[in-house]
Amino acid sequence: MTEATTNIPAIFFDLDGTLADTAPDLAGALNKLRCEHGLPPLPLTELRPHISAGAKGLLLAGMNIGPESPAYLATQKQFLALYEKNVHNETRLFDGIAECLDRLDNLNIPWGIVTNKALRFAAPLIDGLGLQHRAICLVAGDSASHPKPHPAPLLMAARLATIQPEYCIYVGDDERDILAAHAAGMKAVAATWGYSGNAKTMATWGADIIVTSPQDILRIALSNR
C-alpha cells in the first residue's frame, strides 16, 4: 500500500447533505413505500431533518418502525430497493458546490468523497452527478472496516490520495463527520447548509471551522496550502 508522503492539502466531502441534496429522492422512495403500505405521502419538509440518520431514521420517521421490530429488515430491504431505482431523479448538487469543485480542480487541489452511503447507491449517484472521474476517491459506507464516526473511512481516503491525514480537511453536515475527522487527525469543517442543524447546534460539535457557503471552503483550502 502506498504511504501518504506529501503535504499538499486535500479536501474530502461527505455526500448527503454536504455535496448533494439527496433528500427529494430519499423522501420519494419512502413515500412510495408508504403508498405500498396503504399510507398517504409525507411532505418533504417533515422528512428532511431525518435524512442524515439514513434508512433507519427515515423508516422510524415515516413508517414508525425501528431495528427492534421483527419486520424491520424486510421493510428496510423494500425501502432500499425503491431508492436504488430512483437514486438520481431529483438529487442535485447544493448551490455553489459545482463552482467550488471547479475552482479546486483549477487550483490542482485534490478532493474526494467519503460517505456512509453504501457503494451500490453512492457510485451511481456520483456518476449521475458527473463527479466520478473528478474525485480522487470515493470511500463508501461499506468500503472500510467501519463507517463514520470511526476514522477508518477517512484514513482510507488519505491513503488513496497519498496525502498525510494531518494535511487533509473533511467537510460534513453531521456530528459524526466531525468526530470522524478529529479521530483521523484531519481538520473538521461543519457545513450549515445540510440536514443536521444550524451554526448554533454545530458549535457544540467541536468543529474546527463552521462554514455557511461552499465559497468558505475555498478560502480554507487556500489558507492551508
Q: Who contacts 120 (Cβ-Cβ below 8 Å, separation ≥6)?
A: 84
Give the whole-angstrom CA distance, residue 90 versus residue 113.
20
Q: Are strands 20-21 and 92-93 parallel, antiparallel or unpaired?
A: antiparallel
Give the whole-angstrom CA distance, residue 128 versus residue 48.
21
Give the whole-angstrom CA distance, residue 131 versus residue 137.
10
The C-alpha cell at 66 is 425501528
Residues 14, 21, 177, 216: which is the catalytic one? 14
Active site residue 173: no
Q: Who contacts 67 (Cβ-Cβ below 8 Å, separation ≥6)?
A: 56
Angle, CA 4 vertex, CA 170 and CA 148 arms, to 5°: 35
Give the whole-angstrom CA distance, residue 28 versus residue 2.
42
Q: Hey, which residues are catalytic here?
A: 14
